[in-house]
Amino acid sequence: MAPTTPPTAPRVAVLSMHTSPLEQPGTGDAGGMNVYILHTCLELARAGARVDVYTRATRPSQGEVVEYAPNMRIINVVAGPYEGLAKAELPTQLAAFAGGVLAFARREGLAYDVIHSHYWLSGQVGWLLRDLWRVPLVHTAHTLGAVKNQALAEGDRAEPESRRICEQQIADNADSMVVNTEEERAALVDHYDADATRIEVIPPGVDVEMYSPGSDRATERARRELGIPLHADIVLFVGRLQRLKGPQVLLRATAELLRRDPCRPLGTLICGGPSGTGLDRPDEFLDLAAELGLGAHARFLPPRPPGELVSLYRAADVVAVPSHNESFGLVAMEAQAAGTPVVAAKVGGLAVAVADGVTGLLVEGHDPARWADAIGGLLDDDARRLEMAAAAPAHAAGFSWRATAEALLGVYNRAIADRAACGGDCPRHGGGRI
C-alpha cells in the first residue's frame, strides 16, 4: 500500500539495466549516463535517501551486492550470460532482469517508495515494477531514439522502431519524467506526445572538486607526463568512439587546419573506446587518421578515470565536442570546470552546457571546414582563449550534483504524494495506456 505521507528521504530503487555506474566511462556502453547515475545517487544517499542501484551483472567477480557508500548499494542482477550479449540483444533479458530485481527485493524484505529508471530498457522494467509494487515511476531517458534518428551521422545506423515504441509506452505510463533541458522536454512532447506537466527539467552537475583549473606548473607536468611538447596547440576529444559523438569531424578538421598551414604545431588527442556502432569497426577512426595523413598529429588514448582525465583537460588548449546529439554534454562541463575552453556542436543540451562566446564556441553543423575555422581561430587568439579559460570554471560551478539530487528528491516526493492522494487506483497510476 502506498504511504499516506511522503518520506522526505525515501527508499529509491534505481534501475540501470544495460550499464553499471561503476563502469569506466568512455568505452562500451558506459558514458555520461554512468557519471550521472553515480553522482546523483551519491548525493541522494548523502541527503539521507536509501538508494539501491540495480544493474545487469557482466562478470561473476562483481558479487551480488556492492556497498558503495553509506545508504548506497549496487545490486548486480544475473540476467543472461555475463559476456557476449550485445546491447541490441538486451531486450531479450528484460523479463529475467525484472525477475531478478523482484527476487532480491522479496528476499531482503525491501519496500521501495519510488522507482527511478534510466534509459528505455530500464524504463520498460520500471513500468512493470511500478504496478507490481504500487509505487510511482520516475524515468530519465538520457537519449531518445526519435531524436537520435533525426541527427544521424553519415553512415551511422538508425535506432529500431521497437525502441521508439517502448519509449512511447514509457512516456505514456511514467508518473514523472526528468530531462536535462527545455529542449529535451520539447522533444518528448513533439515526438512522443508526452504530458508536459509531468516532465521536470533538472540540469546535471559536475564534480568541481575533481575537475578544477590547474596552475601553469600543473599544465606543464600534465604535458610532460603525456609526452606532449609544451609549445604545441592541443585539441582534445573525450568520449565513446562512435560516429554519433563525432570524432571523425574533429579528425577531418585537424587535417583541414594542417592543409592550410602544414607547419602548425597541432596535436589532436582522442581519448575513448569503441561503442555502439563503433564496435562494428573498432579501428575506424585510427584508419581515418591514417587515411588523412595525420601521422603524429593524432594520438589515440584509452579511456581514463577522473583522476587522470582531469590532467588531460588541463593539458589541452581546447576541448572539442562535435557530437551529432547530446542530451547535455558532461564532457563539456568537466572541461570547463578544469579551465579549458570548449568548441561544441550547437545541438541538444550543449547549448546550455557551453556559454557561447564566453566559455567556448558553439558550431552550427558538422562541416570540417567550419570546425577548422572555429578551432583554429581560438588557438590563434591567445587573449580570447585565455579569457574563456578564466570564465569557464565559474560557469561550470553553477551546475552541482547536490542541486541535481535535491531537485530529484522534490520530484520523488511529489510523485509519492500524488499517488498517495488517489490511493494508486486512478487510471494514471493503475496501468496507464498500452
- Helix (H, G, I), strand (E, B), or coil: what is residue 418? helix
**Is 163 labelled as part of a ligand binding site?**
yes
CA gap 73, 82 in Å, rounded: 20
Q: Tell whether 384 is in a known binding site.
A: no
Contact 182, 383 (CB under 8 A): no
Is 245 assigned to a binding site? yes
C-alpha cell at 308: 587522470
Determine whether the annotation assigns residue 240 to a binding site: yes
Which residues have a Cβ under 8 Å from the Cβ of 407 and sit 6 or more positions away?
A: 200, 202
- Burial class for 151, CB neighbours closer than 10 Å (0-12, 13-18, 19+): middle
143 annotated ligand-binding residue = yes
| Sole residue written with cell 553519415 | 154
Contact 319, 269 (CB under 8 A): no
82 is in an annotated binding site: no
Residue matched to cell numbers 514523472: 176
Q: What interhelical angle do 216-226 and 306-315 show, nearest 10?
A: 100
> Taking the CA atoms of the chain, what radius of gyration do you get in angstroms?
22
32 is in an annotated binding site: yes
Beta bridge partners of 380: none
Q: 196 among the known binding-site residues?
A: no
Provide the 10 A C-beta neighbour count for residue 173: 21
**Grid coordinates of 291:** 587515411
Q: Is 221 annotated as a binding residue?
A: no
The answer to the question of whether 268 is labelled as a binding residue is no
Query: Alpha helices, DSSP H only, in 155-283?
Result: 161-173, 182-192, 216-226, 247-260
* 48 annotated to bind ligand: no
Question: Was 333 annotated as part of a binding site?
Answer: no
The answer on whether 174 is annotated among ligand-binding residues is no
Helices 306-315 + 330-337 axis angle, to 10: 70
> Which residues in 241-369 belong to E strands, given as ranges?
266-271, 298-301, 318-321, 342-345, 360-363
Confirm or deny that 184 is annotated as ligand binding: no
33 labeled binding residue: yes
**Residue 148 labeled ligand binder:** no
Q: Any known ligand binding at 24?
A: yes
Q: Which three cell numbers stand for residue 398?
A: 553553477
- Distance in angstroms (rounded) separating the CA atoms of residues 333 and 2: 39
* Nearest C-alpha neighbor of 143 from the set 27, 29, 57, 56: 29
**Helix count and strand count (H, E) for the chain:** 15, 14
Q: Is 340 annotated as a binding residue?
A: yes
Provide the pairing of β-strand 72-77 with 65-69: antiparallel
The amino acid that residue 286 corresponds to is L
Count the alpha carbons within 13 Å of 6 in the hemisphere toward its beta carbon.
18
- State how far the Cα of 299 lies from the Cα of 234, in Å rounded to an integer: 11
Query: Could you tell me which residues are annotated as the binding site for UDP-N-acetyl-alpha-D-glucosamine?
Result: 24-25, 32, 240, 245, 304, 326, 334
Query: Could you tell me which residues are annotated as the binding site for Mg(2+)?
Result: 313-314, 316, 340
Query: Could you tell me which residues are annotated as the binding site for 1D-myo-inositol 3-phosphate?
Result: 18, 29-34, 87, 119, 143, 163
Query: Could you tell me which residues are annotated as the binding site?
Result: 18, 24-25, 29-34, 87, 119, 143, 163, 240, 245, 304, 313-314, 316, 326, 334, 340
